[in-house]
Each structure stands twice: as C-alpha cells, then as structure tokens.
C-alpha cells in the first residue's frame, strides 16, 4: 500500500505529514509530533491515559487510526495551556487539591475532567464521577480528583473566587502546612517526561522474546535469522552476560534472561535491539528456541510435598523462606482458654497496575559508564547487582531513577534493566524498551497470595490467651522479595495485640506461576486481614463489640510485641478512641447491633451508585431505587 499523507490541526497549528503504515493517533502524536503528554497506559481503550479531544469530543487516542483523524482538529494536554498562557482552572485545581500523585494518568484525567465541564458546566458530583469513569487512576483513590473538578467547576461558574485555586497563606511553619505539590504543575500540564517519553539521538528500540511455557528446558536458541534482518543491531541472550548472572531483592536467583530453563510464562528468553520497534518485533518471530517441556508445579502446598517438580536446583524442597516466630507457651495458652476458634483465610494474587508500564533507556557514556534510566524503586541495589552481572566496577555502572508512574513495590525488581544494559554495551548505542500492558502484567511480580490457618484461644471476657497462625504463600518462579514479605508477614501477623502465647509460621514457596514480589504492605495486609476477620468472629461468639474485644487485647507502651520487642510508645488506644467517635459507631456484637440502626446512611457516606447521572433531567430524584418485590 502506498504511503499516505495526512493533514490535521493539532493544538491550533496545521500539521501535514506522510504516514508510514497505519499508526494509531496516539503514536502519531507521541512519535511524530513529540507530544508526549498523551500517555499510553493500556493500548486497549481501558485506562484513559491517552485521552485527547478530536473535534471537541473526548477520544481515547490508542483506539483511533491516524488516518481517521485526517482533517480533524485535535487538542492534546499540551494544547490546554499553550506556551505563554496560564494553567486552566481544571489544571490549577488539580494542583491545589493534590489530585496528581505519580502523575501518569493525570493528563488523561485532566482531559476527561475538562470534557466533563465543557459538556455540562453545572455537572454535579455524580455526573462528574460518571464522566471520569473511563479513566483509571491507581494512586489517588480519586477523592482529590473529584474535589479538584468540583472546585474548578465552581471557579469557572463564578461561585468561588479564583484565589481558591492559589496557594494557601504561609503560616508560622512549613511543617504541617498543606504546601501544594511542587511537581504537580509539570504533571497536570503533561510536561513531565517518563522513561518511555525519552528519546536520544541514534536510539535503538528493544523488544523481548518471552517464554510460552511455564516450565521447560531450553535446548537451543538460534538467533542467526533475526540478526540477519535489516535494521536489527543486536540480539542478546543469557550467553551475552559477561559476569555473574543473577538478581533478586533477597536471593539472586533470577538470570537477566532465562538460562538453561524457563520457570514461568512470560519470562524473558532473548531480546532484540533494532532501528524501530516494528523491526524488533519482526525479528522476535525469527528467533528459534527449542524447548523440552517439564512438568510444572502451580500450587504452593503441592510444591511443598516430597516428589514435587523442583523449580530451582538450589532449593530441592521448593522453599524460598520459612519464618518462625514464637512467644510464651501456646499449648498452655490454649489450655487456659474458655473458647477456641479456628478458621482459614485466603487472599489472591494482585497486580500492581501502575498506569506507567515498565520502560527504560540505557546507554554507555563517553567515559564508558553503563547508564540505565528507568523508573526503578531501588537504584542503589540495582547498581550493585548490575555491576556484578556485567563485571564492571560500581562506578562504571550508573542508575538514574526517572519519574515513576506508580510503583507500589512493583518496580523494585530489576526485570528488564539488565537487558537494556547488555544491548547498549553490545551496540554502543542508546537502547529503549517500553513494555506493553500485557507484557507488564505477565512479566512483573504480583502481591503474594496467602492461605492462612488461624487458631485463637480466648477467655470469656475476650482476653486472648494464645494464637497460632500458619501461612503458605505462592512466591512464583523467582525469589524476588518473598523472603522479606514472609518476614514482615510473620512479625505483623497477630496484629497490634498483646498476646502472651503465640506461634507463627510463614512459608514462601517456589512454583511455576508468575512471581510474587513486593507490593504495598509487603505481607502485612494478608495476615492482618485474617487477624481482623478472626477477631470479629470471636467477638460475635463472645457477644462483644468489635472495638471492645480489640481494646481488651491491645498493645500499650511497655507491651512486648510478638517478636518480644518492648514498645516505647503505642498509639492504638488513642486511634481506636478517635475512630469509634469519628464514625458514630453503634455499639454491640457484630450482626446484633439492633434493628433500629442510627449509624447507617449518615452525612459522611456517598449515595449508592446508580448509572445514568449524565442523562438525568432537572428535578429527578438522584437516589431513587426501584424495590424488587
């Protein structure tokens, strides 16, 4: 097909370009016009980070072929506040309320908010929420975003003075003051460059060949055809690693690319650096890998059984780490109890879903320093590991942490920076890699799933005499943060309660599932989900109020923790007191707090969600629901 020419107006300026292939509008804006404020979060129209206006209508630019925009008028985030003009009220309101955190979803969110107020300048909160429904934010919990849109609406309508959008007056201290985020103006204007937005002259593009098997021996890798493809600068495999291959947060069990065998679906096997991402993708199809499939192990408890397939030779029992914590005499504690309650709990694997997929740019500088720019949450440790992997002194390895578009622990693992470094060393050219959403989901670590067996003994007055907790967690194919997660889970397991007799065991286990790793709370939420559920079950059996059973067992200053550390200070009593009063808690055992409830449906809850706020007519009752007979 002959190349075509396209003419359109972008942010008020006429643009004419020949089109090669059939790029999405998103690619055209980012790659041709360098308008990188428009971000790619999913490439499937599901997250809204790529939202732009096309002829005044909010459109997800990842879903729109550029050809379809021929003759159209496009406005991007950069066009909202063009050079020389002030931020818009919506952008200023996002700055004022703290509505941007990592900032990666924010250009799209600002576009959606702008659209909402353009479509209906008097949109109420329910309509605003509905109009933002196509835009995902993983950091903020949306609350400050709603506040920003409402403030912007009222300033635009003249109901609030413009000064509402400015900084608060300085008081007598900057500590404890709501200073506006210093990085917010760059985020709300789409000016902040994330790693995937960066380009360097002569830059190559990397694509990664990933394992289709959960557990298989690699018999051979033939890269010759891929290397012969025009535009391919290099193909790398584990054979290109010059030093001691292996990374991980606690145990260095993961090679830069699969070595001798693959252990999970999506594991990197080889990588190509080429003049364009398209050429690199074509080259991947030319790499021939011969696998011999091995029996896989997909369940943590089965992995602990004798005879189970072994994931790593160094750990024939598939155990990554067992953490025991003991205090007092549990048998005596259970014997003393009036009531013993046992139950099991489970939690699932959870994806971090930061809106910025993994991306990085590596180059070798004029002094021979191998430099990796990426949204790494741990540049210090990555530098140490990479220096061993590429056999260079530490000062010849440099990590720069680019703006992080959400991390939550998921960007602590060095799962792609090593490949970038190797390709930059092999070609002496800058190399960039940007994950797709699908690639991010299959290749990156998840929150550890957990199976927890709980036993608690209590006196009739609610005092806990003994507790035991046994947790098995699927760590997946590589160690990553599993050891630390098991440790933190064990330490925090039984909650903020002073329990004389306890026994805790946490086990992290290798399987051929997607690895589990660091994720906000690092094991803390799984165990405390079990503890806090269990305490309510016990409270009901004893006829106690949930706050009361916790107060009767809570730690105080001077208490010893489950690991027998003496606490200098302890605020749980105050926290419980404030919470109970703040929420207007109605006392009573769970499910038996009376038929006449006064605590529910107060002024501090939202109305339940009913779709259609956009189409409501004036005078309609917003909260009306049809009863089903």
Partner 1 sequence: MVAKNNRWARGRGMAASWYGIARTATIDRAGAWAELDDGGTAKIVTGVTEIGEGILTVLAQVAAEELGVRPDDVTIGDNDTARSPEAAHAGATRQTYMIGNSVALACRNAREKLDAELADYWQVDIGLIEAFNGEIWARGTNKRLTMQEAVDLCKKRGVVPVGSGSFTAHGTGLDPVDGTGAPWQAYVFGCQVAEVEVDTVTGEVQVLGVWAVHDVGRAINPRGVEGQIEGGIVQGLGQALMEDYETVDGHTTTHGFAKYILPTSLDIPQINCRLVEDRDPRSPLGAKGIGEPALVPTAPAIMNAIYDAIGVRITSLPATPEKVLAGLAEKRAAAMAAE
Residues 279-308 close enough to bind partner 1 by CB under 8 A: 296, 298
Region class of 226: left (phi > 0), else alpha (psi between -120 and 50), else beta: alpha
Element spanning 422, H or E: helix 417-427
Closest approach, Cβ 10 to partner 1, in A, equals 27
Burial class (CB in 10 A: 0-12, 13-18, 19+), 86: exposed
175 phi, psi to nearest 5 deg? -90, 125
**Residue 358 touching partner 1 (CB under 8 A):** no
**Residue 564 touching partner 1 (CB under 8 A):** yes
Stretch that binds partner 1, among 252-260, 276-284, 333-341, 584-592 (CB under 8 A): 584-592
Among 23, 231, 543, 590, binds partner 1 (CB under 8 A): 590
The residue among 227 and 586 lying less far from partner 1, judged by its C-beta, is 586
Residue with tokens 């001798």: 260
Binding positions for partner 1, 84-123, rule CB under 8 A: 97-98, 101-103
Closest approach, Cβ 595 to partner 1, in A, equals 7
Among 3, 169, 230, 568, binds partner 1 (CB under 8 A): 568
Among 17, 180, 191, 259, binds partner 1 (CB under 8 A): 180
CA distance 190 to 501: 55
Instruction: Sheet with 261-262: list strands edge to edge.
Output: 261-262, 216-222, 288-293
Among 571, 598, 612, 620, binds partner 1 (CB under 8 A): 571
The residue among 255 and 296 lying less far from partner 1, judged by its C-beta, is 296
Site string for partner 1, 20-59 (x = CB under 8 A): ----------------------x-x-xx------------
**Residue 615 touching partner 1 (CB under 8 A):** no
Binding positions for partner 1, 251-270, rule CB under 8 A: 264-266
The residue among 69 and 325 lying less far from partner 1, judged by its C-beta, is 325
Report yes or no: 249 and 481 within 8 Å, Cβ to Cβ.
yes
**Residue 383 touching partner 1 (CB under 8 A):** yes
Closest approach, Cβ 541 to partner 1, in A, equals 12
The residue among 314 and 582 lying less far from partner 1, judged by its C-beta, is 582
Q: Cα 174 to the chain's mean position, in Å?
A: 31
Stretch that binds partner 1, among 1-9, 22-30, 217-225, 399-407 (CB under 8 A): 399-407
Q: Output the CA–CA distances (angstroms, integers) from residue 216 to 221, 292, 297, in the order listed.
A: 13, 5, 12
Among 606, 619, 621, 623, binds partner 1 (CB under 8 A): 606
Report yes or no: 401 and 376 within 8 Å, Cβ to Cβ.
yes
Angle, CA of 26, 29 and 32, to the nearest 5°? 120
Element spanning 599, H or E: none
Tokens linked to 395: 């000062």
Helices (H), 22-88: 25-27, 77-80
Tokens linked to 603: 């002024």
**Residue 401 touching partner 1 (CB under 8 A):** yes
Among 293, 541, 565, 587, binds partner 1 (CB under 8 A): 565
CA distance 130 to 149: 12
Closest approach, Cβ 159 to partner 1, in A, equals 22
Among 3, 230, 313, 574, binds partner 1 (CB under 8 A): 574
Among 245, 253, 512, 544, binds partner 1 (CB under 8 A): 512
**Residue 153 touching partner 1 (CB under 8 A):** no
Site string for partner 1, 492-511 (x = CB under 8 A): x--xx-------x-------
Stretch that binds partner 1, among 155-163, 305-313, 418-426, 482-490 (CB under 8 A): 482-490
Stretch that binds partner 1, among 269-277, 348-356, 423-431, 464-472 (CB under 8 A): 348-356
Among 2, 602, 618, 619, binds partner 1 (CB under 8 A): 602
**Residue 470 touching partner 1 (CB under 8 A):** no
Closest approach, Cβ 378 to partner 1, in A, equals 4
CA distance 61 to 503: 55
Show the beta-strand stretches assigned E in 309-427.
319-327, 339-347, 359-364, 370-374, 397-401
Report yes or no: 402 and 356 within 8 Å, Cβ to Cβ.
no
Tokens linked to 348: 């699932």
**Residue 537 touching partner 1 (CB under 8 A):** yes
**Residue 446 touching partner 1 (CB under 8 A):** yes
- Residue 297, beta-bridge partner list: none
Residues ≥6 apart with Cβ < 8 Å to 560: 327, 498, 566, 567
CA distance 125 to 488: 40
Report yes or no: 528 and 492 within 8 Å, Cβ to Cβ.
yes
Angle, CA of 67, 70 and 71, to the nearest 5°? 175
Among 24, 39, 398, 455, binds partner 1 (CB under 8 A): 398
Among 293, 438, 461, 620, binds partner 1 (CB under 8 A): 438
CA distance 314 to 249: 17
The residue among 54 and 184 lying less far from partner 1, judged by its C-beta, is 184
**Residue 130 touching partner 1 (CB under 8 A):** yes
**Residue 369 touching partner 1 (CB under 8 A):** yes
**Residue 250 touching partner 1 (CB under 8 A):** no
Q: Round to the nearest angstrom and report the end-to-end CA distance of the chain.
A: 61
Q: How many residues does this entry show for the chain?
A: 629
261 phi, psi to nearest 5 deg? -145, 160
Stretch that binds partner 1, among 87-95, 195-203, 274-282, 392-400 (CB under 8 A): 392-400
Binding positions for partner 1, 305-344, rule CB under 8 A: 323-327, 343-344
Burial class (CB in 10 A: 0-12, 13-18, 19+), 225: middle
Angle, CA of 502, 536 and 465, to the nearest 5°? 25
**Residue 198 touching partner 1 (CB under 8 A):** no
The residue among 99 and 256 lying less far from partner 1, judged by its C-beta, is 99
Among 132, 165, 209, 232, binds partner 1 (CB under 8 A): 132
């Amino acid at each position: 097909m002959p190349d075509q020419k396209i003419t359109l107006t972008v942010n008020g300026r006429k643009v004419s370009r020949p089109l090669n292939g059939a790029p999405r509008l998103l690619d055209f804006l980012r790659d041709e016009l360098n308008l990188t404020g428009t971000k790619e979060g999913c490439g499937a129209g599901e997250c809204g980070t790529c939202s732009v206006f096309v002829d005044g209508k909010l459109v997800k630019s990842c879903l729109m072929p550029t050809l379809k925009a021929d003759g159209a008028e496009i406005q991007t985030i950069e066009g909202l506040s063009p050079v020389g003009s002030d931020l818009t009220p919506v952008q200023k309101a996002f700055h004022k309320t703290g509505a941007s955190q990592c900032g990666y979803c924010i250009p799209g969110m600002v576009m959606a908010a702008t659209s909402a107020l353009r479509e209906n300048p008097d949109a109420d909160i329910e309509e605003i929420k509905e109009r933002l429904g196509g835009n995902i934010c993983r950091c903020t919990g949306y609350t400050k975003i709603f506040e920003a849109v409402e403030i912007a609406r009222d300033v635009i309508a003249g109901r609030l003075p413009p000064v509402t959008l400015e900084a608060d007056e300085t008081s007598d201290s900057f500590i404890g003051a709501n200073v506006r985020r210093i990085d917010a103006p760059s985020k709300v204007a789409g000016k902040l460059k994330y790693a995937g937005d960066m380009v360097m002259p002569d830059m190559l593009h990397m694509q990664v060949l990933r394992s289709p098997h959960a557990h298989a021996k690699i018999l051979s890798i033939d890269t010759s055809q891929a290397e012969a493809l025009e535009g391919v600068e290099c193909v790398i495999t584990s054979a290109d690693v010059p030093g001691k291959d292996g990374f991980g947060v606690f145990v260095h069990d993961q090679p830069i690319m699969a070595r001798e065998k693959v252990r999970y679906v999506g594991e990197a096997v080889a990588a190509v650096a080429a003049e364009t991402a398209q050429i690199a993708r074509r080259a991947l199809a030319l790499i021939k890998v011969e696998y011999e499939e091995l029996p896989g192990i997909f369940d943590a408890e089965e992995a602990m059984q004798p005879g189970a397939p072994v994931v790593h030779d160094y750990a024939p029992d598939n155990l990554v780490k067992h953490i025991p914590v003991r205090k007092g005499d549990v048998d005596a504690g259970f014997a003393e109890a009036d009531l013993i309650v046992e139950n099991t709990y489970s939690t699932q694997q959870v994806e971090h879903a930061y809106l910025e997929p993994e991306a990085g740019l590596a180059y070798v500088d004029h002094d021979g320093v191998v430099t990796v720019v990426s949204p790494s949450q741990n540049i210090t440790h990555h530098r140490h590991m990479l220096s061993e992997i590429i056999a260079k002194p530490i000062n010849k390895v440099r990590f720069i942490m680019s703006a992080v578009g959400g991390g939550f622990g998921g960007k602590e693992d060095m799962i792609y920076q090593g490949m970038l470094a190797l390709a930059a060393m092999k070609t002496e050219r800058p190399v960039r890699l940007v994950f797709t959403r699908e690639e991010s989901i299959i290749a990156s670590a998840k929150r550890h799933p957990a199976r927890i067996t709980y036993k608690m003994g209590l006196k009739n007055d609610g005092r806990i005499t003994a507790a035991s907790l046994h947790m098995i967690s699927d760590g997946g194919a590589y160690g990553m943060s599993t050891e630390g997660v098991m440790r933190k889970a064990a330490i925090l397991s039984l909650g903020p309660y002073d329990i004389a007799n306890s026994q805790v065991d946490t086990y992290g286990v290798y399987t051929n599932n997607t690895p589990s790793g660091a994720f906000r709370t690092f094991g803390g939420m799984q165990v405390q989900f079990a503890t806090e559920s269990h305490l309510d079950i016990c409270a009901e059996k004893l006829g106690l109020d949930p706050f009361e059973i916790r107060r009767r067992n809570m730690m105080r200053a001077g208490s010893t923790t489950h690991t027998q550390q003496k606490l200098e200070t302890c605020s749980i009593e105050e926290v419980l007191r404030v919470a109970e009063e703040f929420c207007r808690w109605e006392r009573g055992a769970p499910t038996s707090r009376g038929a006449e409830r006064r605590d529910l449906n107060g002024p501090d809850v939202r109305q339940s969600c009913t779709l259609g706020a956009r189409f409501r007519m004036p005078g309609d009752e917003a909260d009306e629901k049809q009863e089903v007979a």
